[in-house]
Structure 1
Amino acid sequence: MWLYLAALLLGLYFLRRWYRERQTVENLTEKYVFITGCDTGFGNLLARHLDARGLRVLAACLTQQGAEELGKVTSERLQTTLLDVTSTESVAAAAAWAKEHVGDGGLWGLVNNAGITIPGAPNGWLTKEDFQKVLNVNLLGTIDVTLHLLPLLMRARGRVVNVSSVWGRISILGGAYSPSKYAVEAFSDSLRRELLPFGTKVCIIEPGFFHTAATDAKLVIGNLHRIWERVPEEIKLNYTEMTKYTILLGTLSRQPLSMVTNCMEHALTALHPRTRYSAGWDAMIYGIPASYLPTVLVDQVVNLAWLSLSQKS
């Protein structure tokens, strides 16, 4: 009897959750959404999807070429600007530009999507400057953009959507990518609790491995080899095998980018968005469960995976 009752309660929970998550925000065509990193990848696809739904998209691109190409495939509603998230002057200019567009209504959504994965390699191969390059974009860029646009977001009682990673829960690779995403998770958590009384929501997107311009296999592996060439000989003696990293980075997941952008879109348009969204089969099958397992067990599993890759080579 208790088993049936538990099954019934579980079914009712998921039915209620399904119903709540299908409810959407009203007047979406009047909402402004600011997205960073729209040249390619998740940001580009999200900008096009939201534009097709009638939202007013403010797309920030790193390059003029990226802005022009996005403008060619979208409506006149979508507006583009150039933004380097590592430059406070550029961020301030983009925030002023956004303020001119949104007016008194404020900004409904901010998607902190801009991010990089390289320089990335075993920690022992890297320098402090390598870590700074990634942290400046993935973490400090996210913080800087958010702080500049926060008054507009609070005015609209809108949404902040920060792109973290499932590898911000569990780290299996060296370099600053995972540390930056761990920090984005912490920043998002503190910001969510801070803004809760003001009606402004903060959501976190946690993708797994996806094949984008930032994670292009040839680019990542080329970077890896360039870093290896400058590694001191005494360090190389302890890292005689590059194969483990080369194989893994060369087989980056080719899951559909829409698995991530659908989560972003729901976070912006749902009346009751989730606090966290996991995207990608690797995230749901491995990353999320592993983040709850005992550390000693995960360490052994990861070590066996590396050993298996090395032996296959």
Structure 2
Amino acid sequence: MNRAHLFALALSFTAFGSEQPAQTPSAVAPTQPTITAFVYEIQGDWSAGRERLRKGQGLAEGSVIRPLLAQKAQDSRQIVSFIVLMTLDGKPLRLDCCPVNGTPPSLKVPASGQPEATLSRRIVEAAARIFNHRGEMFATTLARGAEDVSRSGIAKLMDGWLELGEGAPVFQRSGAMLLELWLWPESGAAPSDAKTRITLPLPADQTAKIKVTANLRPGLYRAQPMGATKTGLGAVGRDFYLLVNSPATYEESATYFRQCLAIASGWSNQVSPSGKEEFLRASLLDLASRLDGPGKQ
């Protein structure tokens, strides 16, 4: 992916829910609705008015969110659909639907309560733009029946060493001996043969600094831990995103991503673990738009 494409992802679709020319909430004319939230996670059919909602769609202040159909569970404990809205302040709002004999829930999208200039607001808005355009690209891949959730993070490449940074440990032991880390330049496509293989020191689950002999450049990668399986070397655990920084860009990236981690950790159980991971991946894609690396000019 070239630099222009990544910048387009990070800067376009500011209105989130439409294909109209990009505009920030502060630039919206007084007669137009102000976007203050977006659809973060969704299962089942939900609507704002008569419009069916999709992941990443922007929501105007005052919009009323309801289940599109009167979906009913077979017993009072079962949840058959849910939606999580994310305000541009970074606050999740969750609705579950629908217990037997229960009234279908509804929620009015609130006004924005946080100044636009804050770092947290800028981070959430960047994630919203990317979710709107590439909302389905962030699903994690679980290999070999592992149950751990690898968390994406950043690293610093210096003097032939890859030092894991904010978000570390970015992978955990998966019941198998981890031997290598495979990295593919993140282009939004499926991993190709153009991968970098890095041998991991043991024990890999405690690794914070890795010697790199391959030709690795700064940029965003999709990473997959590889280990000993019954059939030989194979994928173990979940894949994750790894943003490799030069020493010159690391501190800026660390400050930004540290705030991303703080935002996600504050969501508690209102957002699923995979939903938090998706946010971290979108944030790393936004960060990568500022760096030179794989697939960029």
Q: TM-score range by the shorter chain?
A: under 0.3
TM-score by length of 1: 0.22
TM-score by length of 2: 0.23
The structure richer in strand per residue is 2
The structure richer in helix per residue is 1
